[in-house]
Structure 1
Amino acid sequence: MTTFVDRVELHVAAGSGGHGCASVHREKFKPLGGPDGGNGGRGGDVILVVDQSVTTLLDYHHSPHRKATNGMPGAGDNRSGKDGQDLVLPVPDGTVILDKDGNVLADLVGQGTTYVASQGGRGGLGNAALASARRKAPGFALLGEPGDAGDVVLELKTVADVALVGYPSAGKSSLISVLSAAKPKIADYPFTTLVPNLGVVTAGATVYTIADVPGLIPGASQGKGLGLEFLRHVERCSVLVHVLDTATLESDRDPVSDLDIIEEELRQYGAGLENRPRIVVLNKIDVPDGQDLAEMVRPDLEARGYRVFEVSAVAHKGLKELSYALAEVVGAARAAKPKEEATRIVIRPKAVDDTGFTVTLGDDGIYRVRGEKPERWVRQTDFNNDEAVGYLADRLNRLGVEEALMKAGARTGDGVAIGPEENAVVFDWEPSVMAGAEMLGRRGEDHRLEAPRPAAQRRKDRDADRDDADAEYDDFEPF
């Protein structure tokens, strides 16, 4: 049964925002008390957070589909809908989040580090929030936005100070078991270790973590054996320890050739491993032939510049010297790391000529409008409500979409699509000086609420009303 998983594909979906409510306050002796529709609640986010008590991605291997809750719709009497609950997913320290194409989205290191994998949709504004001094009774509300949904890949890279690397059955598991309190599986056959094991070592005033990486063989950097599955667990380690078997029963192997092969695999894998400090451990000197071979190859290894330690995990020989030497190298590696800078806020102002949208002519003859604002407005429009459609038309006109279409060469009756190709709203363009809602009359106008006004005053109020509509929605933050 699988107990350790270090790579999964996770399907996440944030909650959708609740719809706004279109309601009119009704009370005895106040049949038309004004709009009182509340706003919809925000959809919940899907958030990944580092939890050091979690060591595997096993839960997401068994349950890869995760969804946050939706926001509740608004109600009359100015009651806003409840926000959806965020879904917080704990992940191990050292988890890397990638998209399906392999691009890194986030690298989570350190307790409490978070990443919003999927963002909840905005709640729609109710008609009370859309009302103004001149638009006293809007007959519509905005719909809630759907939450983000997509797939991410979680990849675990072990966070440790020291990595033990070497051939299968070189004695790495035995070594970590006597240096720390870790209790890995130990046996006399290859590939005993199938998952990385972590242990904590105390040497004087220095405390460091040590990882036993599953055995590597020739071709590991190309995925042979357990290669690529676990080479990534070496990436974050500050010090590499070559554990060489001086008592191997295989006639075609010796410590020096083993070292050369593992070094070549590390070089081919890359990831900056060629610059990490190295220490060589000649293990199993409790075996008579092992002691002789260690004494024979040690001068050659030291001539290459390696610090060499002769140890026996079984007989507990040479362990103290090794642990203190590792503490010294780890301390130097920590001191060499640049200090973490305070969080920097990067401001990227928009260009002065940035309209916030683009208009392009597709091969199918349809003009496509793409941009955050127009696409958001379309998603929040109830197309069964003529007044809401007119409100959308006015806003697009105010943004400059109609002018941009004319400059792009669009003519009456040409197809226009707003949004991504697979989920766009398509309509036949009908340019006009007065946009849709204005042809229906002022949005939310109810002549029973006010006395008739002169035509000039009505035109003046209509222009002011259009300015208010855009400003109110863009600046309003109901959540």
Structure 2
Amino acid sequence: MSKFIDRVVLHVRAGKGGHGCASVHREKFKPLGGPDGGNGGNGGDVILEVDSNVHTLLDFHFHPHAKAGSGKPGEGGHRDGKQGGPLVLKVPDGTVVLDKDGEILVDLVGAGNRYTAAHGGRGGLGNAALASKARKAPGFALLGEEGEEKDLVLELKSVADVGLVGFPSAGKSSLVSVLSAAKPKIADYPFTTLVPNLGVVLSGDTTFTVADVPGLIPGASEGRGLGLDFLRHLERCAVLAHVVDCATLEPGRDPVTDVDALEAELAAYRPALRGDAGLGDLADRPRVVILNKTDVPDAAELAEMVAPEFAERGWPVFEISAVSRAGLRELSFALADLVMRYREDHPPEAPKRPVIRPIAVDETGFSVIADPQEPGGFIVRGTRPERWVRQTQFDNDEAVGYLADRLARLGVEAELVKQGAEPGAPVTIGDVTFDWEPQISAGVDQVPTGRGTDVRLEQNERVGAAERKHASRVRRGLVRADEE
């Protein structure tokens, strides 16, 4: 049995970028033909796309984890790694994407509409791309970056022209079944409808959709019954129709009090999509009152009594019977007229030609702040420094020296000096913490050494913390100088 799922938590992970390759071209009589390591491929994106053939979030309910393809590492001979394939996830029309904090990221309406939920990681550069006048044959390459990983909430808000609201067992499902070809579940007990049902109605030359929302009760806007789960399916409806049970035998209920109770819930509910499609709040939507079950004699008399009171509010009133189908023709034409009036007031926007405008991103900025967890330490934050650290092979001295040059040219070294950083101060960039060595000259041309090495890292003569501690213990006479 198929399920209707309209809210899921989706864990998406973009592909990882491939590592760059550190390779040197070699052939007979050319032992050092120059660096020829290729770049790693970029990781694939995770993309959400609206598909008119998808009507529920059921697939994500059973498969909540989605991962795009990773990029392949580069190879020698200037061969770049293959790009990671994007993962395109099909979602129904009307899907709203929220982050883990409940903030709306995008409202996906319209077939073909796309949203990149997670961006793939960049591929690392090979040593051929890192070659320069000062470093003609780099013995290292850059690592690929991890892809974005996010937890998203997908909520489906039905896209319908008319929304039917009413108490349980008011006859909403029966009305949809006779107005359209939809076959919702119908039974003689409350809350028979547990999922919204959509029906397509053809009235004259007008075609519109009707949504049967599960029964509402007082307190629905605060979560009672099934209210909060399904009130959101009314947010996109241009017309709201009250379906009133005129044959109910429950004490304390009559058509006027039923409508007033539901109107209070509609006024109290605050849609997540403010001004969605220009419709405004639910309290501002056009209303229609449908007095149902008039095939029962007592119900017909009650409908005649209360109809003038609703008419005084300016709401069209229709007395119908979903069983005998009396009054359905007039109702369908009236609903079609209201829908056409709305469409004339809100014509669809003409499709626009896609225009690609590169977004200017300032990645040159960075900040240096004192580390609250480490006395005398500092934290460097910025897009470029953090990315450079993620791309560095810390087991390769030449790669570490290259990182030091990049940070110095960006101005990180000068800013640390300005803020009074002491030699050996712990400096954190991203997930890496290292001891700052101001004696190491960085950002200037260096004499090349062996591949994978950097002579500057071997010239550090600063006394380490352990040595300073031992000297202090010697001065205080706690240990001899030749003791460890």
Given the two structures, how large is their TM-score scaled by the length of structure 1?
0.87
SS at match of 2:167: coil
Q: Which residue number in structure 2 is paired with residue 201 of structure 1?
A: 201
Contact kept, 8 Å, 2:134 with 2:445, in 1: the verdict is no
**CA distance change for structure 1 residues 344 and 439 in 2, over 3 Å: closer, same or farther?**
closer
* Range moving further from structure 2, 58-67 or 330-339: 330-339
Deviations along 1:39-84, one digit per CA (max 9) or x if unpaired, are: 1111111111111211111111111111112111111111111111
Question: Which residue matches 2:438?
Answer: 431
Aligned-pair CA distance for 1:331: 1.5
Structure 1 residues 29 and 355, CA gap change in structure 2 (3 angstroms) = closer
* Counterpart in the other structure of 2:175: 175
TM-score normalised over the length of structure 2 = 0.87
Q: Give unmatched runs, 5+ long, in structure 2.
A: 272-280, 454-484
Match status 1:281 vs 2:290: yes
CA shift at 1:113, angstroms? 1.0
Q: Which residue of 2 aligns with 1:313?
A: 322
Shift, 1:203, TM fit? 1.6
Q: Which residue of 1 aligns with 2:410?
A: 399
2:345 matched to 1:336? yes
CA contact (8 A) 2:396 2:452 kept: no
Q: Which residue of 2 aligns with 1:123?
A: 123
Match of 1:302 in 2: 311
Aligned CA RMSD, in angstroms, stands at 2.2
Matches within 5 A, 1:448-467: none
The offset of 1:170, in angstroms, is 0.4
Count of aligned pairs between the two proteins:
440
SS in 1 for 2:11: strand
1:440 deviation in Å?
Answer: 6.5
Give runs of aligned pairs for residues 307-456 of structure 1, distance below 5 A. Answer: 307-337=316-346, 340=349, 342=352, 355-364=364-373, 365=375, 366-419=377-430, 424-432=431-439, 434-435=441-442, 441=448
- Counterpart residue number, 1:40: 40
Give the deviation of 1:407 after TM superposition: 2.2
Secondary structure of the structure 2 residue equivalent to 1:435: coil
Tell me if structure 2 keeps the 8 A contact 1:221–1:266.
yes
Distance 1:268 1:346 in 2: 42
Distance 1:443 1:249, change over 3 A: farther
Q: 1:224: how far off?
A: 0.7
CA spacing shift, 1:108–1:363, aligned 2, 3 Å: same
For residues 73 and 41 of structure 1, the distance between their equivalents in structure 2, rounded to whole angstroms, comes to 6
What is aligned with 1:454? none
User: What's 1:467 paired with?
Assistant: none
Superposed CA deviations along residues 200-247 of structure 1, whole A, max 9, x for unmatched, are: 111222211110000001111111111101011111111100000111
Give identity over the alignment, percent: 65
Q: 2 CA distance for matches of 1:445 and 1:414?
A: 26
Give the 3 Å change call, closer, same or farther, for CA 334–408 of structure 1 in structure 2.
farther
CA distance in 2, matches of 1:347, 1:32: 40
What secondary structure sits across from 2:368 in the alignment?
strand
User: For each residue in 1:347-378, what CA deviation from the matched residue of structure 2 results, as whole angstroms up to 9, or x when unmatched?
Assistant: 88678xx9511111122232111111111111
- The within-5 A match list for 1:22-101 is 22-101=22-101
- 8 Å CA contact 1:135–1:442 kept in 2: the answer is no
Gaps of 5+ in 1: 447-479
Report the Cα distance in structure 2 between the residues aligned to 1:349 and 1:157, rounded to whole angstroms: 34
Could you say if the C-alpha distance between residues 443 and 112 of structure 1 is closer, same or farther in structure 2, counting changes exceeding 3 Å?
A: farther
- SS for the counterpart of 1:331 is helix
Contact 1:18 1:123 in 2 (8 A): yes
Measured after TM superposition, the shift of residue 249 of structure 1 is 2.1
Conserved? CA contact 1:201–1:209, under 8 Å: yes
- CA deviations on 1:291-329 (whole Å, 9 max, x unpaired) are 111101001111111110111111111111111111111
SS state of the match for residue 388, structure 1?
A: helix
Whole-Å Cα distance in 2 between the matches of residues 23 and 122 of structure 1?
20
One-letter code aligned to 1:302? A
C-alpha separation in 1, matches of 2:296 and 2:399: 85
Write the distance in 1 (CA, Å) between the matches of 2:70 and 2:299.
Answer: 65
